[in-house]
Amino acid sequence: MSPTYAATPRGARGRSLALTGLLGPATVFLAAVLLVALCILLVNSAYHFTGTQVQPTLTFEAYRHFFTDPFYAGVVWQEIRLAVTTTAICLVVGYPTAYAITKIRRPGWVIAAYILIFSPLLTSSIVRAYGWLVVLARGGLVNWALLRLHLVAAPVRLLFDVTGVTVALVHVLLPFTVFPILSVLLRTDPALREAAADLGATRLQGFFRITWPLSFPGLYAAAQLTFVLAMNAYVTPQLLGGGRVQVLPLLIYENISDLDWPLAAVEATVLIVLVWATMLGSNLLFRRRLATLEDRR
C-alpha cells in the first residue's frame, strides 16, 4: 500500500472517535433511561399481583386477563378510533392550512399565522383542557350558539364524550400536523409549479401532479407524528372524557394507583407495540413511494 493511504484509516478513526464523543452522552442516557426502563416494564408485566401487592414470580396472568376480558379490547378499539379520527381531521385541516401559509406574501402575516398555529403549544395542557370545558359545556359557548341559531332544540352533549376529546385533541395536535407538511412545502422549488404551468397544467392540475406527490413525505410524517401523539394522549381524554372515554394511558395511570403494576405494564407494552407496529407497518406499506421521493435533491 502506498504511504498516501496511511493517513486515511487514522483520519477515519479520528472521525469515528469524534462521533462517539458527540453521540456518546445522548446514547448512554437514552440506553439507560429507555432500554433499562423497557426491561423493567417487561419484567413487571409478567409478575403476579395478589390484589394488594406485586409478587416477583413469573406468571403472565396479567396478559391473560388483558387479552381475555373484552373490556380491554373495547378500550383499545376506542383508542385506535380516536387516534385515527383525530389524525384524519388534523390532516384535512392541517394540509390546506400549511399550503395557505406558503402562499402568504407579507412576512408580517406569515409570523401571525405561525403564532396562531403554534399557540396551542404555548399554553399548558391543563389550562387548554379547562378552556375547552368552558366552550363545550352544556351551557357553554358552542351549545349557546347552536341553540340561538335554532340548529338544535336542546343542548348537545359535547363534553365527557369522544366528540369533545377529539375536538380538543385536534386543537393540541394541529401544530404537529402543520409543521412537517409546511416544511416540505417550503422546500419544494416553486419553479416546478411554474414548469408545470408552462407545460400546460392549470393550477389544479399543477397541484395534483406536482405539489401533492412531492409533499407526500411531509404528509406522511405529519400523520405518523399526530397518530402517535393521539395514541399517547393523557390529559385531554382525562379531563374532557369525564371517565366515559377510556384509553390505555388512563388505564395505566389507574392501575398504577391501584398498585396493579403487572396490568399497567401489560397495558404499556400493548400501547408501545401498537404504536411501533403502526409505524413499521406504514413504513413498509409506503416504502416504495417514499424511496422515490427521498432522493429528490
Partner 1 sequence: MSTGRPREASALPAVELEHVHKWYGSIHAVRGISLRILQNEFFSLLGPSGCGKTTVLRMISGFETPTEGTVYLKGEVANAIPPYRRDTNLIFQHLALFPHLDVYDNIAFGLRLRRLPRPEIARKVRAALELVDLVGYDTRRIHQLSGGQKQRIAIARALVNEPAVLLLDEPLGALDLRLRIQMQVELKEIQHRVGTTFVYVTHDQTEAMTMSDRIAVMNHGFVEQIGTSRDVYERPRTRFVATFLGDSNLLEAQVESSNADQTVLRAGAARLIGPADAGATPGSSVTLCVRPERLRFAGAGTASGGDDGNRLDARVRDAIFKGAVIEYRLVTESGARLILQAHADAARPVEPGAAVTVTWRKEDGVLLTE
Q: Which stretch binds partner 1 (CB under 8 A): 28-36, 47-55, 94-102, 189-197?
A: 189-197
Residue (10 or 288) nearer to partner 1, CB: 288
Beta carbons of 288 and 220 less than 8 angstroms apart: no
Using CB under 8 A, pick the residue from 194, 208, 276, 279 that binds partner 1.
194
Beta carbons of 190 and 265 less than 8 angstroms apart: no
Determine the size of the site formed for partner 1 (CB under 8 A): 22
Residue (16 or 205) nearer to partner 1, CB: 205
Record the cell numbers describing residue 132, joined without a space.
375547552
**Per CB under 8 A, 189 contacts partner 1:** yes
**Per CB under 8 A, 207 contacts partner 1:** no
Residue in 36, 76, 48, 3 with CA at minimum distance from that of residue 263: 48
**Per CB under 8 A, 201 contacts partner 1:** yes
**Per CB under 8 A, 146 contacts partner 1:** no
Beta carbons of 175 and 120 less than 8 angstroms apart: yes
**Per CB under 8 A, 81 contacts partner 1:** no
Beta carbons of 155 and 138 less than 8 angstroms apart: yes
Region of 242 please: left (phi>0), alpha (psi -120 to 50) or beta. Answer: left
Beta carbons of 95 and 102 less than 8 angstroms apart: no
Record the cell numbers describing residue 133, joined without a space.
370545558
**Per CB under 8 A, 107 contacts partner 1:** no
Using CB under 8 A, pick the residue from 173, 214, 230, 233 that binds partner 1.
214
**Per CB under 8 A, 209 contacts partner 1:** yes
Tell me the closest approach of the beta carbon of residue 105 to partner 1, in angstroms.
Answer: 12
**Per CB under 8 A, 195 contacts partner 1:** yes
**Per CB under 8 A, 124 contacts partner 1:** no
Tell me the closest approach of the beta carbon of residue 202 to partner 1, in angstroms.
Answer: 6
Residue with the three cell numbers 381524554: 237
Tell me the closest approach of the beta carbon of residue 38 to partner 1, in angstroms.
Answer: 38
Distance CA 197, CA 204 (A): 10
Residue (153 or 191) nearer to partner 1, CB: 191
Residue in 258, 196, 247 with CA at minimum distance from that of residue 80: 247
Q: Which stretch binds partner 1 (CB under 8 A): 111-119, 206-214, 228-236, 260-268?
A: 206-214
Beta carbons of 79 and 230 less than 8 angstroms apart: no
Q: Which stretch binds partner 1 (CB under 8 A): 77-85, 136-144, 186-194, 240-248?
A: 186-194
Distance CA 284, CA 291 (A): 11
Residue (78 or 215) nearer to partner 1, CB: 215
**Per CB under 8 A, 199 contacts partner 1:** yes
Tell me the closest approach of the beta carbon of residue 92 to partner 1, in angstroms.
Answer: 23
β partners of residue 48:
55
Sign of dihedral through CA atoms 126, 130, 132, 136?
positive
Residue (63 or 216) nearer to partner 1, CB: 216
Please give the C-alpha separations between residue 52 and each of 49, 55, 251, 259, 267, in angstroms, as whole numbers: 7, 10, 17, 7, 19
Binding positions for partner 1, rule: CB under 8 A: 189, 191-192, 194-202, 205, 209-210, 213-214, 292-293, 295-297
